[in-house]
Amino acid sequence: MIELIDVYYHYENHIALRGINLKIEEGERVVLLGINGSGKSTLLKILNALIFPQKGSYLYRGKRVEEKTLKERDFRKTFRREVVLLFQNPEVMIFNPTVYDELAFSLRQLGLEEKVIRDKVLYWADKFGLTPYLQRPPFELSTGIKQKLCLACLLVLEPKVLLLDEPTAHLDPRTTGWFVDLLWELSCTTVVSTHNLSLANELGSRLLVLGEDHTLVYDGKIEEFFKDKGNLIRAGLLHRHKHRSTGDWHLHSL
């Protein structure tokens, strides 16, 4: 479904991704792990075709995704409907006057009838507990509710691939639990980025790890990765600090 072949990407003064090769099949639940600045967000932006590889290629359902193909109306419409991204900061996804308009935003562009749009909006609002807020300006909501709203805005499109950039970063423990349960209810392919090791197990079954050198240092089962401490060290996911009680140095994961 998704294939990256020898992908490189660099910003003005630093490299973000180096020689990334990977394949993701339909229905897979992938967790993307790496320390801050390892290139997780860049990789997700490439998968969502917001930026394009400077070297190498990105194939979606066998078709090369690049600026040119995104200009083809039919492909763009299908791609933007099927592959969606939840941004790390939910506030940047909110710009409509009411919660209802926010949920209806992408559906309206698809040219659906207003009744169909309404039914879908009401269904997802109810599922996410957003019904009481439908006529309120979304920027007034709390961060947790905003995060729920942003996710609902994506799911109304019934996407095939859901990309999530640090989705639990702004959530309290209770909402995080709700979010993890919801993720397993969804039938679409998911790619979730995180630097939270304790949560990685809960978010998927396959693990991709980006190392400090911006290469893919691990691609396999989550359980296997954690069995070998060397993996954690190579990915920069272990840190050393002095134990307060004994004064000894210990290695800890993030």
Partner 1 sequence: MKDRFLLLLYMLALLLLSSLSSIKYLLLVFSLLLLANAVSLRSSLGRAIRPPVFALFTALFISTPYALWTGHYSYALLLTLRVLNLTLLTLLVLRNTNLYLALGFSKTLSQLLVLTSSHILLYRRVFSEFKDSLRSRSPEGPQRRDMINFSGGIGLYFFDRALRDSEEVAKAMKSRGFDID
DSSP string, 194-218: ES-HHHHHHH-SEEEEE-TTSSEEE
Interface stretch with partner 1, choices 30-38, 57-65, 98-106, 191-199 (CB under 8 A): 98-106
Q: In the sheet that 161-165 helps form, which strands lie side by side, from edge to edge?
A: 83-86, 161-165, 189-194, 29-33, 206-210, 216-221
Residue 15 pairs with which residues in a beta bridge?
A: 10
Nearest approach in angstroms of CB 110 to partner 1 is 6
At residue 46, what is the residue type? Answer: I
DSSP reduced 3-state for 235: coil
> By CB under 8 A, is residue 87 in contact with partner 1?
yes
**What are the structure tokens assigned to 252, written together?**
């800890």
Please state, in angstroms and rounded to a whole number, the distance separating the CA atoms of residues 156 and 112. Answer: 12
Quick one: 42 or 176, whose CB is closer to partner 1? 42
> By CB under 8 A, is residue 153 in contact with partner 1?
yes
Interface stretch with partner 1, choices 94-102, 114-122, 168-176, 226-234 (CB under 8 A): 94-102
Answer for which of 8, 10, 91, 206 binds partner 1 (CB under 8 A) is 91
Answer for which of 69, 89, 143, 175 binds partner 1 (CB under 8 A) is 89
140 Cβ contact list (under 8 Å, min separation 6)? none
Residues from 120 through 149 that contact partner 1 (CB under 8 A) = 139
Interface stretch with partner 1, choices 81-89, 118-126, 169-177, 215-223 (CB under 8 A): 81-89
Please state, in angstroms and rounded to a whole number, the distance separating the CA atoms of residues 216 and 192. Answer: 15
Interface stretch with partner 1, choices 10-18, 60-68, 87-95, 218-226 (CB under 8 A): 87-95
| Contact yes or no for 101/109 (Cβ under 8 A) | no
Answer for which of 34, 42, 53, 106 binds partner 1 (CB under 8 A) is 106
Q: Which residues bind partner 1 (CB under 8 A)?
A: 45, 48, 50, 73, 76-77, 80-81, 84-85, 87, 89, 91-97, 101, 105-106, 109-111, 139, 153-154, 157
